[in-house]
Structure formats: C-alpha cells, structure tokens
Amino acid sequence: MTDEALMRLALAEAEKARAEGEIPVGAVIAKDGNVLFSAHNEREALHDPTAHAEMACLRGAAAVLGDWRLRGCTLYVTLEPCPMCAGAMVMSQLDRVVFGAADPQRGCCGSVYDLPGDPQLQGRTAWRAGVLEEECKDVIDGFFERIRT
C-alpha cells in the first residue's frame, strides 16, 4: 500500500475520534505494507493524557509483533507528533513516521523541534511530512472551528 492509501486509513480513524468528541487525530502502523494496528485519540474517553493515536498504535503494534522494537514499521498519523509521541517513536526503534498536517505549536518532527532526527539521541526515526496535508488539516481545523462557534 502507498503512503497515501495508508494515510486515508488514518483519516478514517480521525473521523472516528471527531464523532466521539475527541480531537480528530488518527493513526495507522504498518509493516511491509500490512496494517498492524489503527487507532485514534481517546484522551477524553479514557481520561488519559497519553491516549494519543500514535501511542495506541505503538502499543498495539508491539503487542501484535510480540516485541517492543518496531523496526521495519511505519506510523501514519494525520497530525505531526508531539514531543511525547516523537520520543516514544525513537524509543521503540520505529523506522519511519509519515504525517499529514504540521503542528506549529507542538510538532516535534520539524515544526518546533526535530526530536527523531536529534543526533544526541541513540537511534533515529525518519519522517515524511505533508501526505494528504489538506485533507488532514481540514479535519482538525473543522473540529476547532465547530468548538469555537
């Protein structure tokens, strides 16, 4: 499957989050083009500040693989990962993350900081930005516009 096709699956997860009143971020993790796990934000439902879509995918993929090392895996997420999620990606030895919309306030894959590319950290996670960027941006922007009105 292509990056775009897998990002469409992440967008479907973001729509689930929106329907549940969560900030609409969705994620999918794949290995060799096969989806291992998909998830969306559940911070409100679980009352858990760590219940980001990315964290759920990392946990789910590790369970599926029976290994915390996510070598060979790619995470697809609709919004640029925050510091917590970017750190978990590096710690899990994830090969790559692909995201849609940049997060100029908290994004740690190039916007505020490039945590996965920091040479001081042992291990690196490659990243690709802007896949289906407009669609991803529309989902998150639409959610916040509805809240503000």
Residue-wise pLDDT for 58-85, tens only, equals: 999 999 999 999 999 999 999 999 999 9
Confidence (pLDDT) at 146: 86
Question: Which residue stretches of the chain have pLDDT < 70?
Answer: none
Confidence (pLDDT) at 122: 82
Confidence (pLDDT) at 69: 97
Are the C-beta atoms of 76 and 7 separated by less than 8 Å?
yes
Are the C-beta atoms of 82 and 105 separated by less than 8 Å?
no
Confidence (pLDDT) at 95: 97
Confidence (pLDDT) at 97: 98
Confidence (pLDDT) at 141: 94
| Structure tokens, 104 | 């100029």
Confidence (pLDDT) at 148: 84
For 62, half-sphere exposure in the C-beta direction (CA atoms, 13 angstrom radius) is 15
Q: Is 54 a catalytic residue?
A: yes
Confidence (pLDDT) at 59: 98
- Inter-residue long-range contacts of 108-114, CB under 8 Å, 24+ positions, other chains counted: 108/80, 108/81, 108/82, 108/83, 109/80, 109/81, 110/80, 111/80, 113/83
Are the C-beta atoms of 115 and 87 separated by less than 8 Å?
yes
Q: Which of 4, 54, 134, 145 is catalytic?
A: 54
CA 44 to chain centre: 17
**Sign of the alpha-carbon dihedral angle for 92, 98, 103, 108:** positive
Helix 53-65 with 83-91: angle, nearest 10 deg:
20
